[in-house]
């Protein structure tokens, strides 16, 4: 267990979370809904990082892969006082419907939820983005990353969530449960390709389930 003095990482995490807490009724309600319905959304520490990142960089066009109920896109919009356009892609029709309802409920006209497989939709997008947040099927990150390359503005940043895949990426392949091996292999290949790519710089941060930040040289 990672410790500073006699304080555990959990205590540090709770303290930071409490310190950073700002009441935001919309966001708080959505997080409770997601938790009650077992819908995976960005972890609090990822949220805090994104808030800092967005406040510093103030992107005008964001592409998100993996919308779920719209939590992260509504959150990102609120950080930027809705002065941003967000295209967010979702493959699951039920999630798409809930996200669309949430976005309508909060009268947000700057968030465009698109139903379909990101692999099919990305090539048809006619925008260029300052920031891409990848938070969809973990076995397709390599493909998603290749597809978004010609959709990026100069100096764009790409952030990928869950790149440690429940911590499995830190383990030897022999210890990975059989049903998780495919994602493990595909995420490993994606990270190896990132390391080999001479056009980018990157940093994996110990936030959420591993947050990979990629920027272009």
Ligand X SMILES: C[S@@+](CC[C@H](N)C(=O)[O-])C[C@H]1O[C@@H](n2cnc3c(N)ncnc32)[C@H](O)[C@@H]1O
Q: For residues 24 and 78, is the Cβ–Cβ distance under 8 A?
A: yes
Select from 100, 135, 148, 169 the one that contacts ligand X (CB under 6 A): 135
Select from 76, 136, 159, 160 the one that contacts ligand X (CB under 6 A): 136
Quote the CA–CA distance of 192 and 169 in Å, as a whole number: 12
Select from 27, 49, 59, 72 the one that contacts ligand X (CB under 6 A): 72
Decide: is 76 part of the binding site for ligand X (CB under 6 A).
Answer: no
Nearest approach in angstroms of CB 157 to ligand X is 16
Query: Among the candidate windows 4-12, 35-43, 148-156, 207-215, which touches ligand X by CB under 6 A?
Result: 35-43
Decide: is 209 part of the binding site for ligand X (CB under 6 A).
Answer: no
Of the candidates 150, 153, 145, 131, the residue with the CA atom closest to the CA atom of residue 77: 131
Quote the CA–CA distance of 160 and 118 in Å, as a whole number: 14
Report long-range pairs for 20-29 (Cβ below 8 Å, ≥24 apart).
Answer: 20/48, 24/78, 26/74, 26/78, 26/106, 27/71, 27/74, 27/75, 27/78
Quote the CA–CA distance of 66 and 153 in Å, as a whole number: 21
Decide: is 111 part of the binding site for ligand X (CB under 6 A).
Answer: no
Nearest approach in angstroms of CB 116 to ligand X is 7
Decide: is 148 part of the binding site for ligand X (CB under 6 A).
Answer: no
Q: Which residues bind ligand X (CB under 6 A)?
A: 40-42, 65-66, 68, 71-72, 89-92, 95, 117-119, 135-137, 140
């Amino acid at each position: 267990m990672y410790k500073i003095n006699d304080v555990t990482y959990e205590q540090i995490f709770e303290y930071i979370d409490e310190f950073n807490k700002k009441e935001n009724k919309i966001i708080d309600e959505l997080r409770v809904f997601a938790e009650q319905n077992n819908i995976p959304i960005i972890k609090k520490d990822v949220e805090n990082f994104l808030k800092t990142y967005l406040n510093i960089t103030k992107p005008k066009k964001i592409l998100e892969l993996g919308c779920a109920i719209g939590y992260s896109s509504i959150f990102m919009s609120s950080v930027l006082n809705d002065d941003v356009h967000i295209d967010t892609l979702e493959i699951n029709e039920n999630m798409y419907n809930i996200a669309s309802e949430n976005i309508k409920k909060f009268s947000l006209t700057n968030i465009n939820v698109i139903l379909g497989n990101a692999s099919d939709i990305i090539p048809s997008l006619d925008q260029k983005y300052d920031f891409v947040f990848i938070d969809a099927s973990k076995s397709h990150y390599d493909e998603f990353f290749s597809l978004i390359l010609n959709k990026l503005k100069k100096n764009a940043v790409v952030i990928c969530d869950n790149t440690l895949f429940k911590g499995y990426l830190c383990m030897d392949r022999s210890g990975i449960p059989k049903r998780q091996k495919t994602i493990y292999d595909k995420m490993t290949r994606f990270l190896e390709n990132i390391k080999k790519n001479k056009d980018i710089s990157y940093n994996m941060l110990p936030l959420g389930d591993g947050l990979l930040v990629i920027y272009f040289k």
